[in-house]
Structure 1
Amino acid sequence: MPVNVLVAFDGSPLSKRALTYTIETFPDARITSIYVINPTDSVIDVEAGGLPVAKEWYENAKEEATRIHTTATDLAAERNTELDTVTEVGRPAQAILEYADDHDVDQIVMGSHGRSGIDRALLGSVSETVTRRARIPVTIIS
């Protein structure tokens, strides 16, 4: 059984399922929820709103991370589970993989994506990259 499990958590329904799955499947593991602030998102904000938006982007992203961590912590508390949370900045797949490597993670759990119909058969780009490149087991929740 894994001792140290990393759950990619962005507040989406699939990430909530992934966290719930992790708590139920690995009750004795240390569970860490990771949220990645993606700087690429700032480009869209700058294009839409200019330089003042660029200055505020990172502060807004940190506030969003805090809200998302609160959601994860509350979900874990409802199941009488303690949860560590971490925020990283970078490309999501790369940040998840680097964190796992640097912190002796035994298992990664993450949602696939929110698509429906025929596209559901394919993984999202982050989950696909993590699955292909991880040196440890990855569980994808759909």
Structure 2
Amino acid sequence: MANHVLVPVDDSDRATQALEFAFEEHADATITALHVIDPGEFYAATGIEGGAMANYDQIRKNHEDRSEKLLEAARERGEANGIEIETDQVIGGVSRSIVDYADEHGVDHIVIGSHGRTGASRILLGSVAENVARRSPVPVTIVR
């Protein structure tokens, strides 16, 4: 039985299903919902738009605010299930940040939603869940 379960969250239905799965299967464990802010998303947005540089700090703040809203929704979902969860956010590459977080915070199980990519998009883009499963130092459950 897991003592500390990490559930990466974003705004996808699969992430919500993974969180629900963690509540059902690991109700007695410490559950941490983690949102990873990919810096590529706001670095890409700082290009030239209309002749002026976009405001990098504002873009980053917008991503952090969105992250906090996602984590608040996760906390509320936990409360609705009678479970108090921990939340955290980090900035970095998504797969690597999840694996590093698990390693650095005493996580002994990861529950992650699959985004269900198939074919060329999976080959070209890879899958966060697949990368986490391959690199994780702890067992990983992928929820479909």
Q: Identify whether the pair has TM-score above 0.5, normalized to the shorter chain.
A: yes
Identity %: 33
- 4+ aligned runs moved over 6 Å, structure 1: none
* Distance across 1 between alignment mates of 2:53 and 2:39: 15
Q: Is the 8 A contact 2:48 2:54 kept in 1?
A: no
CA distance 1:70–1:48, change in 2 (3 Å): farther
Give 1:47 deviation, angstroms: 2.7
Counterpart of 2:36 in structure 1: which amino acid? Answer: V
CA distance 1:25–1:41, change in 2 (3 Å): same
CA RMSD of aligned residues (A): 1.7
* Distance across 2 between alignment mates of 1:98 and 1:82: 23
Q: Is the 8 A contact 2:45 2:54 kept in 1?
A: no
**Partner residue of 2:115 out of 108, 113, 116:** 113
**Which has the larger helix fraction?**
1
Gaps of 5+ in 2: none
Q: Which residue of 2 aligns with 1:52?
A: 54
Q: Secondary structure at the match of 2:111?
A: strand
Q: Which residue of 2 aligns with 1:10?
A: 10
Q: Which piece of structure 1 moves more, 45-54 or 80-89? A: 45-54
Q: Is the 8 A contact 1:32 1:86 kept in 2?
A: yes
Q: Is the 8 A contact 2:18 2:111 kept in 1?
A: yes
* Distance across 1 between alignment mates of 2:116 and 2:72: 21
**What pairs with 1:39-78 in structure 2 (closer than 5 Å)?**
39-47=39-47, 49=49, 50-78=52-80
CA distance 1:48–1:129, change in 2 (3 Å): farther
Q: Which residue of 2 aligns with 1:84?
A: 86
CA distance 1:48–1:132, change in 2 (3 Å): farther
TM norm structure 1: 0.90
Counterpart of 2:40 in structure 1: which amino acid? Answer: T
Gaps of 5+ in 1: none
**Partner residue of 1:127 out of 126, 129, 135:** 129
Counterpart of 2:97 in structure 1: which amino acid? Answer: A
Q: Secondary structure at the match of 1:81?
A: coil
TM norm structure 2: 0.89
Give 1:48 deviation, angstroms: 6.1
Q: Secondary structure at the match of 2:42?
A: helix
